[in-house]
Every structure is written in C-alpha cells, then in structure tokens.
Chains A and B, each alone.
Chain A
Amino acid sequence: MDMVSFKGLVVFASAVVAVAASLLMVTRRNPIHSALWMIVTFFNMAVIYLVLNAQFIAVAQVMVYAGAIMMLILFVIMLVHMETGGVVDFRKFHRSTKTMIAWIVITVILFIEIVMGAVFYQMTGQSGKYTVEAVSRVGHVKTVGALLYTQYLFPFEIASILLLVGIVGAVVISKRK
C-alpha cells in the first residue's frame, strides 16, 4: 500500500478514526454513547472494505451491522432504561488491583502476539482466479452471489436454518410465561 496515494490516505484516516472510535466505545460510561461510537467504527471499517475491493461486504456491513444490529442494541438499551448509564455504584464493584494487573498482562500479551504475527507473517497461499479486474468485470455482488448459490450452497442453507432458529429462539426466550 502506497501511503502517499489517495487510497493510502483514505485507509489511514479510516483506520485512525476506527481505532479512536472503538477506544471511545470501550471507555464511555453511557451505553448509548458506546453504541453510537460503535456505529462510527463500523462505518469506517466499511470504507476500508471498499478500498479492499469488497463492495458487497461494505454495503452489508453498513446495512446489517450499523443498520440492523446497532439499532437492535439501541432499542434494548432504551428498553432496560440505561440511557443515563444506570444507577450502578461503581465503587461497590471496583476491580481489585490483582484483577487490573491480570487484565493488563492479558491485554498486552494478546496485542504483542497479534502484532508480531502480523509483522512477521509471510503470505504463502496460492493466488486465486478472482483478480480485481476479473471481479470488477461482472461486479462483486454477482461474483459472491454466484459462488453462494453454487459452491457454498450447503453452508448457505445451514445459515438460513440458523437464522430461522435464531428468530424462533428470540421469540421463545422473550415470551411472557
């Protein structure tokens, strides 16, 4: 990736905003603010997907994650009356020093592992036939759709059954006895 090109600048800006928004999402006390920062993160990741030539996934990201899932989460936050961050006494549940040390150690180890893996990883896989030019000739949506209904038909059916089970499960769980 050429950092001085327009693409590089877009990716860099999106990455910075995504990381900042996710940090704010984790640290805000008010769950509504967390949810709104989460939507900002999702939008910026959609931009990165666009740069990575995955248009279908970018649109699905905005519609499914930023549209449907976050809307659901916002509804539930309002349903359980946490708009003000709740009436939790934070001193009562303050984490002990041991917990904090364990948390910091786990987080730092995880982060170092992932970054070292990313830095020293050499891509060894074989290149497929779906180059950017080949995909853009017919469009990313058509390519993904054709694959979903042929090679990945069985997983697709299982995913639809999973969605059905999820709908039924949500109704059964939230039904008043």
Chain B
Amino acid sequence: MLPLDPEGLYFILSGVLFTIGAAGAILRRNVIVVFMCIELMLNSVNLVFIAAANELSSVDGSIFVFFIMTVAAVEAAVGLAIFVMVFRLQNTVNADEINLLKG
C-alpha cells in the first residue's frame, strides 16, 4: 500500500470525476451534455479545494468554491442562451452539425 494521505482519497475521487467529465466532453455530441460534463469537471475541482482546505484548517477553499460557483452560474446562463439561439438558427444542438465557423 502506498503512503496515502487521508486527503489523497478525496483527490483520487476528484480525479476520477474529472476524467469522466473530460471523457464525456470529448466524446459526446449533444452540446448540452457536453456542458453538463464541463460542470462535472468544475465540481471535481471544487472537491479538491474543499478537501485541501479541510486538511489545512483554512476557509479559503470555501471562498474559492463560492467564486467558482458564481462563474459556473454565469456560464450556465450565457451558454444556455447561446444554445437556444443556435437551436433557433440551425434547428439542431448536435456539436458535429454546428459548423458555421468552418471556412
């Protein structure tokens, strides 16, 4: 058994969740599912912040997570507005079919 901090287990859980999110963001075609995968990646980073802050007796981790949540909420509002607009223009939300920027 490797010399593992108690926090190491949380870091591994966070790594597993981040990898699942990254894999989904690469593989999935539905932009809304890709968006949810990005939210999952943000969440796994939050877990690292909280675990490290708990280990170091600090609240800065919670503050950082608060700001990450703010950014995620703004991202959700603007991103979903963009998806609705794209759906109106293209009648699809498939990432492979949205290729207006292709030269």
Contact surface of A with B, Cβ cutoff 8 Å: 1, 11, 15, 18-19, 22-23, 25-26, 31, 34-35, 38, 41-42, 45, 48-49, 52-54, 56-57, 60-61, 64-65, 68-69, 72-73, 76-77, 79-80, 82, 86, 88, 93, 95, 103, 106-107, 110-111, 114-115, 117-123, 125-132, 134-135, 140, 143-144, 147-148, 152, 155, 159, 162-163, 165-167, 169-171, 173-174
Given the complex, which residues of B lie within 8 Å of A80, measured CB to CB?
A: 32, 83-84, 87, 93
Given A54-B53, A80-B84, A80-B87; A25-B15 close (CB under 8 Å): no
**Bound Cα distance from A118 to B14, whole angstroms:** 9
Chain B residues engaging chain A, CB cutoff 8 angstroms? 2, 4-24, 26-30, 32-33, 35-37, 39-40, 43, 46-47, 50-63, 65-67, 69-78, 80-85, 87, 92-94, 96
**CB within 8 Å for A72 and B80 given contacts A1-B9, A22-B40, A115-B12:** yes
